[in-house]
Amino acid sequence: MTELKKRILPTVQKPARYVGGEWGQICKEKEKVAVRVAFCFPDTYEIGMSNVGMRILYGLMNQIPDVWCERVFAPWGDMEEAMNANGLPLWALESQDPVKDFDMVAFTIGYEMSYSNILNMLRLSGIPLHAKERKGLHNMVFAGGVCAFNPEPLAEFVDFFSLGEGEESTVEILNLYRQAKAEGWEKERFLKEVSKIPGIYVPSFYTHTYDENGVLTAVTPEPGAPETVTKRIVENLDTAFFPTKMIVPSTEIVHDRANLEVFRGCIRGCRFCQAGFSCRPVRKKSPEVLYRQAVELMENTGFNEITLSSLSTSDYRGLKALTDDMLPYCEANHISLSVPSLRADNFSRELMEKLQAVRKSGLTFAPEAGTQRLRDVINKNLTEEEILSTCTQAFAGGWNSVKLYFMLGLPTETDEDVLGIADLVYNVILAWKEHAVNKKRGLRVHVATAYFVPKPHTPFQWEKQITPQEYLRRCKLLKEHFYSKSIEYDYHSPDLSRLEAVFARGDRRLGPVIEEAVKNGAKLDGWDEYFRYDIWQDAFAKCGVDPDFYTVRGYGEKEILPWDMIDVGVTKSFLLRERKRAYDSRVTPDCRKGCAGCGANQLLKEARCDE
What pLDDT digit, counting tens, does each position of 16-70 carry?
Answer: 999 999 999 999 999 999 999 999 999 999 999 999 999 999 999 999 999 999 9
Average pLDDT over residues 320-348: 79
pLDDT band at 274 (very low <50, low <70, confident <90, very high): very high
Displacement of CA 471 from its chain's centroid (Å): 24
Task: Decide: pTM greater than 0.75.
Answer: yes
Is the peptide bond prior to 281 cis by the omega test (within 30 degrees of 0)?
Answer: yes
So what's the pLDDT on residue 354? 64
Q: Could you report the per-residue pLDDT of 302-333, keeping only the tens digit for each?
A: 888 888 888 888 888 888 889 889 988 988 99
Q: Could you report the per-residue pLDDT of 149-174, keeping only the tens digit for each?
A: 999 999 999 999 999 999 999 999 99
Q: Could you report the per-residue pLDDT of 494-512, keeping only the tens digit for each?
A: 999 999 999 999 999 999 9
Is the peptide bond prior to 42 cis by the omega test (within 30 degrees of 0)?
Answer: no
So what's the pLDDT on residue 358? 39
Residue 533 in contact with residue 195, Cβ under 8 Å?
no
Q: Could you report the per-residue pLDDT of 375-411, keeping only the tens digit for each?
A: 999 999 899 999 999 889 888 888 888 999 999 999 9
d(CA 312, CA 400): 23
Is residue 1 over pLDDT 80?
Answer: no
Torsion-angle region of residue 524: left (phi > 0), alpha (psi -120 to 50) or beta? left
So what's the pLDDT on residue 257? 82
- Burial class (CB within 10 angstroms; exposed 0-12, middle 13-18, buried 19+) of 8: buried
So what's the pLDDT on residue 165? 96
So what's the pLDDT on residue 78? 96
d(CA 180, CA 160): 15
Residue 506 in contact with residue 150, Cβ under 8 Å?
yes
Per DSSP, the residues of 446-515 read EEEEEE----TTSTTTTPPPPPHHHHHHHHHHHHTT---TTEEEEE--HHHHHHHHHHHS--GGGHHHHH
Percent of the chain with pLDDT over 90: 80
Name the phi and psi angles at 310, rounded to 5: -175, -175
Percent of the chain with pLDDT over 70: 95
d(CA 244, CA 261): 12
Is residue 611 over pLDDT 60?
Answer: no
